[in-house]
Amino acid sequence: MATVGIFFGTDSGNTRRIAKDISTTLGSAVAAKPVNIRNAVVADLLAYDILILGTPTYGDGQVPGLSTGNVTESWEEFLPTLAGHDFTGKTVAIFGLGNQKGYPDEFIDAVYYLHDQFDACGATLIGEWPTEGYKFKASKAVVNGNFLGLALDQENQKELTPERVSAWLKSIASAWENG
């Protein structure tokens, strides 16, 4: 069985595409096929020691879900189901998609919400990413000068995505291998 579980939420499909790229880069011996969070239950995530989670940020910094107009369940509905579950011993890395020009005051805020929930459940969070090279005003996902996960902007910096994903995967693989 693959050791890394990849779960994502999406409306447009951009986050799914990045999740698939990550899975392909890691290879099937390491990473499981990515799963849309609307098709998962907490036990699915608990089956892995290492999780890579992806989310876009919508509107005023929200995770995808019913309140953002998504007709299917997504992170908004899933996150409350984590309450009472213990992720101690699990390693979690998060990537987020956002639009730093269109939503400069809440760029990749959704990463914060995932990070906060999994931290509260005892997970070990890895995968911080530098803020250099981005132009935004504010983000809940910035702590101590770094993003809490990989920040991607498919609207304004799509050409930087492959390099950013590759560098981030190397950094998180190093963290879980030495962890």
Does the pLDDT at position 1 exceed 70? Answer: no
Indicate which CATH number applies to the domain containing 61.
3.40.50.360
Task: Indicate yes or no: pTM above 0.85.
Answer: yes
124: helix, strand or coil? strand
Lowest mean pLDDT across 13-17, 39-43, 150-154, 174-178:
174-178
The pLDDT confidence band at residue 13, using thresholds 50, 70 and 90, is confident
Q: Which tens digit of pLDDT belongs to each residue from 27-77? A: 988 999 999 998 999 999 999 999 999 998 876 655 555 454 444 458 888
Paired with 152 in beta bridges are: 97
Provide the domain count of the chain. 1
Per the structure, the complete domain to which residue 130 belongs is given by: 4-178
pLDDT of residue 178: 62
How far is 133 from 159, CA to CA, in rounded Å? 13
Six-digit token string for 17: 């595409």
How far is 92 from 44, CA to CA, in rounded Å? 14
Q: Which tens digit of pLDDT belongs to each residue from 104-162? A: 999 999 999 999 999 999 999 999 999 999 999 999 999 999 999 999 999 999 999 99
The upper half-sphere exposure of residue 16, i.e. CA atoms within 13 Å in the direction of its Cβ, equals: 12
